[in-house]
Amino acid sequence: MKSGKRDLLSFRSIRVACRSCVIAASRLKLPMHVFALTAFLAISCVHLREMSAQEIKASRPSEMSVKYGANDSVVSMNISLSPSDAKVGEQVLLKIDVEVLSPWHLGAIKSQTPSEEDVLGFPTSIEFMSFGLEAVQSTFFATREPDKATGSIGTTYSMSGKFCWTRKYRVTGDSPTYGGRGSIRFQACNDEKCLPPQSLTFSLGEKDQSQPIATLESNTVDDATSDQVLEKIHGETFVLKLERCQKIRVRPQIDVMQALFGRAKDELVWKGTIAAGNNKGVSIYMPKAEKYHFDNEGADGSLVSNTATFVSIDQNGNDVLEEWEACAVDIPVRIRNSMYRIQGVDLASETMTIEYLDIPLQGSIVGFRCPDFEFDTLDGSVVSNKSILGKATVLDIWAVSCHNCYEDFAVWKKEIEKYGSDKLQVVLLTVDDDRQIYDSLSPRLFQKYGGADWPQVMLKKGFDGARTIGSYGFGSVVVDEAGIVRAVGVHGPQIQSVVAEVFTKSQRQDD
């Protein structure tokens, strides 16, 4: 209704009320001051009635405000749908005003990120199911560009400070009212950790409700319950509840003293569990330490140089921690058939934050398929996790300076002669970075110990490249003909028994 018509009706209502008062006063012969008071009360009633109608219309919630985060202050949102009295054909604006306190940030929405890039982080998603409205814009838009940060494995797009997301709609007239219900899924992170992902559901313009609806749901993972926990998107972050434990492991890192006097032991004191394909889940164990280090400041990723914290992951759930189940947290870690980055540990809240990464598998787990790899050999061919299928394969990490490494060549050669080159093969992966030295020394070693006719790969990043296979030091990863890892870190006297077990299992499967 237009303003002029509204004013005309108000004038007519007041005129009718005054005329009724005049008639009543004349018939009852009332004094003029009583007439004036009666007229005033009548006009007030008309005004209150019209105001009441307007307030009832305005009582439909078209704006709400919610807060999220530590002390309800890390992230605040104000969601509005305006104007609340638009007519058919007119546009309304759904607006989400956001304030993120420093040093926190949220992931950008998908319309803000290039589809062709390898985007990391947990993106914000917005959904809105409307009634009486049709979308004018195809998606939500932001008032400013996101902050972009490029790392070694991808790019993150984030939003911080004050900004807003908007989307335009048009009133259709299909309903006497308009509005809708929506949800915002987001996560607050800083440079050290991430809070649990949150789902904010809201309702705007519902004619039968007196208060807005707003609920927040946490995505904290306290325990392993189902495989659905791992059905998530790239960059999604989970917070695992830590519990105290007491376990001992052989220390993964090796130094001069350990080389002389034997391997040291680590005390494992914290455990976090995530669902990963079984009812019990997979547990991640943290060693006792004054401070955990999530970056490697050493020369490379080897057991000798790596300064990052090593966790132990009970991949097969048998509560026995093997040496190969230890891995450094400076690069993504493999948990069964998924990849994660351990972002941080907060002992005050007893939580561990991990991020799911939709990237090729790195690292070897006994009983699971070989990690993804593709290497150029020195003779110009290509060897990959797909090309080795059909034969049991030894991925041997070595260097010309490692005498224990090339002494194993003679043992591998005998195993190939025993089982046949059509069933067993060796791929040599050297961590040497000097091609001239390698070319001058390796022929003599091959002549003495064997291996000259095996595929040879010079890993581009040395031990860092070896870690993609699952080895932090010298030794072999043994893969069966179906591409399943059967052993990690094999060397010396272990070779014969490992190969025998591989072919024994293969024979059982054939039978």
Phi first, then psi: what are they for 268, rounded to 5°?
A: -100, 125
Select the more confidently predicted residue: 275 or 374. 374
Q: Return all residues near 365 (Cβ < 8 A) that are at least 6 apart.
A: 315, 334, 336, 470, 485
- The helix (H) or strand (E) run that includes residue 7 is helix 3-28
Residue 369 counted as domain residue: no
Q: What are phi and psi of 384, to 5 degrees?
A: -145, 175
On whether both 262 and 351 belong to a single domain, the answer is yes
Same structural domain for residues 315 and 408?
no
Where is the domain boundary, 58, 81, 100?
Answer: 58
Q: Would strands 213-218 and 475-479 be described as parallel, antiparallel, or unpaired?
A: unpaired
pLDDT band at 259 (very low <50, low <70, confident <90, very high): low
Q: Any idea what DSSP says for residue 194?
A: B
Which of 111 and 140 is assigned the larger pLDDT?
A: 140
363 belongs to a structural domain = no
Higher pLDDT, 133 or 198: 133
Percentage of the chain exceeding pLDDT 90 = 36
Whether residues 213 and 311 fall in one domain: no
d(CA 324, CA 317): 14
Read off the pLDDT band of 175 (50, 70, 90). low
Among 249, 287, 253, 154, CA closest to 463:
253
* Spatial distance between the Cα atoms of 51 and 65, rounded to a whole number of angstroms: 26
Chain segment 74-92, per-residue pLDDT in tens: 888 888 888 888 888 899 9
Structure confidence at residue 233 (pLDDT): 67
Query: Is the model's pLDDT at 224 over the cut of 50?
Result: no
Residue 67 shares a structural domain with residue 184 = yes
Q: Give the DSSP per-residue string, 215-228.
A: EEEE--B-S---GG
Q: What is the pLDDT of residues 430-454, one digit of tens each?
A: 999 899 999 999 999 999 999 999 9
403 and 489 fall within a common domain: yes
Structure-block tokens of residue 153: 């494995």
The pLDDT tens digits for 401-426 are 888 888 899 999 999 999 999 999 99
What's the pLDDT at 469? 87
Confidence check: pLDDT of 209 > 70: no
In eight-state DSSP terms, residue 462 is T
Residue where the block lists tokens 């058939």: 337
Residues 178 and 280 in one domain: no
Contact between 266 and 249 (Cβ < 8 Å):
yes
pLDDT of residue 227: 35
Q: Is 362 within the bounds of a domain?
A: no
Residue 473 inside a domain? The answer is: yes
* Partner residues linked to 95 by β-bridges: 80, 166
Residue from 420, 367, 363, 418 nearest 395 by CA = 363
Residue 475 has pLDDT above 90, yes or no: no
**Domain count across the chain:** 4
| Ordered DSSP codes for 365-385 | -TTSBPPP-EEE-TTS-EEET
- In terms of Cβ atoms closer than 10 Å to its own Cβ (0-12, 13-18, 19+), residue 324 is buried
Per-residue confidence (pLDDT) for residue 73, from 0 to 100: 63
Mean pLDDT of 456-469: 86
Same domain, 330 and 460: no
Domain extent at residue 23: 3-58
Question: Token pair of 2, please?
Answer: 């237009």
User: H or E segment at 239?
Assistant: strand 237-241
* Residues 39 and 101 occupy one common structural domain: no
Helix, strand, or coil here: 28?
Answer: helix
- Written as one letter, the residue type at 242 is L
CA–CA dist 107, 355 (Å, integer):
13
197 in any annotated domain? yes
Q: Show Cβ contacts of residue 44 under 8 Å, excluding neighbours closer than 6 positions.
A: none
**Exposure of 297 by Cβ count < 10 A (0-12 exposed, 13-18 middle, 19+ buried)?**
exposed
Tell me the average pLDDT of the chain.
Answer: 78
Lowest mean pLDDT among 228-232, 308-312, 368-372: 228-232
For 365-393, what is each residue's pLDDT tens digit? 999 999 999 999 999 999 999 999 999 99
d(CA 178, CA 61): 11
| Residue that is last in its domain, among 323, 357, 391 | 357
User: Which is higher by pLDDT, 338 or 10?
Assistant: 338
Q: Is the pLDDT of residue 161 over 80?
A: yes
We report the CATH number of the domain holding residue 121 as 2.60.40
Q: Which region among 138-147, 193-202, 284-293 has the lowest average model confidence (pLDDT)?
A: 193-202
Summarize the confidence of residues 59-76 as an average pLDDT.
54
Nearest by Cα to 197 from 166, 175, 219: 219
Domain boundary among 28, 58, 88: 58
Tokens of 171: 């009133």
Same domain, 280 and 334: yes
Residue 334, pLDDT above cutoff 50: yes
pLDDT class of 129 with cuts at 50, 70, 90 = confident
Q: What is the pLDDT of residue 120?
A: 67
End-to-end CA distance of the chain: 84
Same domain, 381 and 331: no
Place of tokens 């351990």: 342
pLDDT of residue 457: 95
Whether 365 maps to a domain, the answer reads: no
pLDDT at 160 > cutoff 50: yes
Rounded Cα–Cα distance for residues 111 and 106 (Å): 14
Residue 235 lies in a domain: yes
The answer to whether residue 92 sits within a structural domain is yes
Please tell me which residue, 294 or 237, carries the higher pLDDT value. 294
Whether the full predicted model's pTM is greater than 0.75, yes or no, is no
* pLDDT at res. 208: 43
State the average pLDDT over residues 128-149. Answer: 89
Same domain, 20 and 139: no
- CA–CA separation, 57 vs 475, rounded Å? 75
Helix H or strand E encompassing 186:
strand 179-186
Amino acid symbol at 111: S
Query: In terms of domains, do 348 and 402 share one?
Result: no
